[in-house]
Chains A and B, each alone.
Chain A
Amino acid sequence: MKAFESKKRHNEIKEQLIKFTLITAASVSILTTFGVLFSILFEAIEFFQMRSFWYFITGTEWSPGVADSKFGALPIFSGTFIITLIAMAVALPIGLGSAIFMSEYASPKLRSKLKPLLEILAGIPTVVYGFFAAITVAPFIVNFFTLLGVQASFNSALASGIVMGIMIIPVISSLSDDVISAVPDSQRKASLALGMTMSETIKNIVLPSALPGIISATLLGLSKALGETMIVVMAAGLRPNLSWNILEDMTTVTVRIVDALVGDHEFNSPDTLSAFALGLILFIVTLVLNIISVALIRKFKEKYKINTL
């Protein structure tokens, strides 16, 4: 009897121990998120103790590494914004169009083949896209616009924007395809039975129903574009350039982060720490985009009572 009880106690301790280990492991993910946040935050605070936060947000001159260094990130934000905009202009119509074709027009068999093919695009490492942008797309754009008599930079925002857009196509198409397919068939039938054509049904009934999911996919793509590094490091410029001309070279937040941290700078100089200030902005923006995106998808799921998305 005693032996039994001690064995039982032993088992209980073991169970508790295992459970404790599991909880610890699960907490690592939280630790990581806060690790990212705080490691960026502390260095960024240090930066803002040296330099004005206000000038960082609104200043138009970014000139690190010189005696009279200035850290006005506006031209960096504008470059990021414009390249992201080009990427979305490519990815949104193509991604959404592909999703509509797969979910509405293609047979299930064709769809099951097309989807993994598109997802290959998502599996290609970004450094590969960067090489492609720099070596194939950028020269093509320069040559093309020279033919038209317009001068384009080899580090044009257009080249990196287009390639980034292609990279984001599967982000948008995959999630959009899921939500469009989740719109109940009865909606389509009802519209068709009223004498609507297929495209009218898609545009007026299916897409509005799937809209929260499509917006969510777009935000996810947006956040990916903002945080994308390799393509812009390899194909976009280093020069902070406050311009609307997409044929000029521009720089982005991520490019400047890499530039500030590669090479042998002193770690506690504003030059290096500026990377963390930029990183903090990037972290906040992408986090907000992700939170909105998740909330929208949850709303869509609740509306159609779907558990699988």
Chain B
Amino acid sequence: MKNINNKTLSDNPFYDPSLSKRHSKARRFKIFTITCIVFALSFLVFFLGDMIVKGLPAFQQSYMQIDVSYNDKTIASTRKAIDKKYRRIVSRAWLRNIPNQVEESPELMNTTQSTWVLVNHQVDQYMKGHYFKIKSKELKIIEDMHAQGKLQLQFNRIFFTQGDSKIPENSGLKSAIIGSILTLLVTMVVAFPMGVMTAVYLEEFADDNRWTQFIEVNINNLAAIPSILFGLLGLAVFINLFGLPRSSPLVGGLTLALMTLPIIIVSSRAALRSVPDSIRQAGYGLGLTKVQVVQDHVLPLAFPGIMTGSIIGLAHAMGETAPLIIIGMIAFIPDSPGSIFEAATVMPAQIFTWAGMPERAYIERTAAGIMVLLSVLISLNALAIILRKKFEVKW
């Protein structure tokens, strides 16, 4: 043993100088791949951070405590309800709403109240430390009020209770949220049964003939068609041919349904395929017909998987914008739509509209809208994952 050890000290038959170059090449390659994934992930972090930093201020809005007088004169000309010096500070939208306030609570009539009133977006931007355009006279008043604690940031209820508005401080996401809900309702009512039935047919009933293969190839191609082309379809077929109302959740929902169809079909097929054949054979063994076996035994077992896929499809449809622009769902919608036939907008379309507005106040609203949209999408995906984990059966 000693003998051997002594010998090894003197020479190393495995020493190969050419290898060091190859090893450093290998190391560089590995570092390259790590850099790639780190870049992709740090982009994600940076991006989410950027949205939060930009959007968080929109969840607060500036209000000022001043005296407001309610009487016939001020209802006729709402500007007169407040002291003249505040007129360039208070939001026009708030003043416009004075008659409504009185209508809601008549006891306000002929009184003067000290209330928190909404200020305009320039003052709001000043409060948030952003760029603002305010005359020096008003700026002094604002600074005074701020120092007295009579001008402060409060939770922005308007963002969730109002629709779109040309007055930035009065604009909210509500009509877009309702539009999204109506549109997605139409989407799911159409796409879910269609998708599941197609999947059931292809997995359980179809013979492997040319027609079936043709359907399969088609579903695959459908999934790869750029979304904007579905907008063209919606415009040409649903609106121009069938005469359905433009900008309506009905047309939007139908268009999105066609886009969501392949997602639901593919995931439902996977769910059906994961149900073992022994279940089907057991059913046949009891003398059940094919329809009974599928209806009573296969479908219930595949249901969690089908739901998971459908939720993912729903999330996908929820974020889609391009086809909806084509069919006119970017109209200015201050009031929430009451039915699927009325003009509506959806959350991503509202984000798009706000993103194109020049006022600084809309930027933070855009980012806030994105935060809301992403939270909903993340929740939906989380729900899908939970559902899959909970009902996952290993056969």
Contact = CB atoms under 8 A, between A and B. Distances in A.
A107 interface: no
Q: Is the interface of A mostly helix, strand, loop or mixed?
A: helix
A223 B229 CA distance: 13
A26 B221 contact: no
Given A29-B265, A123-B381, A258-B326, A22 B205 contact: yes
B261 A28 contact: yes
Contact of A275 (B26, B201, B232, B352): B232
Contact of B220 (A11, A261, A290): A290
Contacts of B258: 32, 35
Interface stretch (A68-76, A131-139, A143-151, A183-191): A131-139
A2 B56 CA distance: 74
B99 interface: no
Contacts of A275: 232
A238 B226 CA distance: 20
A258 B25 CA distance: 48
B240 interface: yes
Interface string B21-34: 01101101110111
A14 B290 CA distance: 11
A14 B291 CA distance: 9
B177 interface: no
Contacts of A132: 47, 50-51
Interface string A101-135: 11011000000001001101101111110111011
A135 B54 contact: yes
B221 A125 contact: no
B291 A134 contact: no
B377 interface: yes
B321 A230 contact: yes
Given A105-B34, A123-B377, A258-B325, 19 more contacts: A15-B289, A25-B198, A26-B197, A26-B206, A27-B215, A28-B198, A29-B198, A32-B222, A39-B237, A93-B36, A98-B40, A114-B37, A118-B37, A124-B47, A125-B321, A132-B50, A166-B43, A234-B352, A290-B224
B219 A29 contact: yes
B21 to A, nearest CB: 10
A35 B26 contact: no
B226 A197 contact: no
B351 interface: yes
A287 B225 contact: yes
Contacts of B44: 117, 120-121
Contacts of A30: 214-215, 218
Given A29-B265, A124-B319, A258 B228 contact: yes
A18 B38 CA distance: 52
Shortest 3 CB-CB contacts between residues of A and residues of B: A227-B226, A97-B36, A125-B319
A261 B215 CA distance: 31
A126 B218 CA distance: 25
17 contacts: A14-B291, A23-B205, A25-B198, A25-B201, A29-B215, A29-B222, A36-B225, A39-B232, A43-B236, A121-B43, A227-B227, A254-B228, A254-B322, A257-B228, A258-B326, A282-B226, A291-B221
B138 interface: no
A132 B355 CA distance: 10
B355 A130 contact: yes
B202 to A, nearest CB: 6
Contacts of A243: none
A202 B30 CA distance: 10
Contacts of A226: 226
Nearest to B326: A261
Contacts of A104: 33
A276 B237 CA distance: 13
Interface string A192-233: 000001111011000000000000000010011011111001
A279 interface: yes
Contact of B201 (A23, A197, A267): A23
Nearest to B191: A28
Interface of A: 11, 14-15, 18-19, 21-23, 25-30, 32-33, 35-36, 39-40, 42-43, 93-98, 100-102, 104-105, 114, 117-118, 120-121, 123-128, 130-132, 134-136, 166, 169, 173, 197-200, 202-203, 220, 223-224, 226-230, 233-234, 254, 257-258, 261-262, 267, 275-276, 279, 282-283, 286-287, 289-291, 293-294
B30 A33 contact: no
Nearest to A121: B44
Nearest to A173: B40
A127 B289 contact: no
Contacts of A124: 47, 319, 374, 377
Contacts of A294: 217, 220
A189 to B, nearest CB: 17
A223 B232 CA distance: 18
A22 B193 CA distance: 10
A253 B96 CA distance: 44
Contact of A39 (B198, B214, B227, B233): B233
Nearest to A255: B228
A282 to B, nearest CB: 6
A286 B290 CA distance: 39
A21 B197 contact: yes
Interface in B44-70: 44, 47, 50-51, 54
Contacts of B51: 128, 132
Contacts of A27: 215
A33 B232 contact: no
A257 B33 contact: no
B233 A36 contact: yes
Interface stretch (B115-123, B143-151, B163-171, B363-371): B363-371
B153 interface: no
A33 B348 contact: no
A29 B225 contact: no
A94 B39 contact: yes
Contact of A290 (B29, B221, B381): B221
Contact of B229 (A21, A130, A220, A283): A283
B389 to A, nearest CB: 13
B230 interface: yes
A131 B201 contact: no
Nearest to B234: A39
Contacts of A123: 315-316, 319, 377, 381
Nearest to B29: A199
Nearest to A118: B40
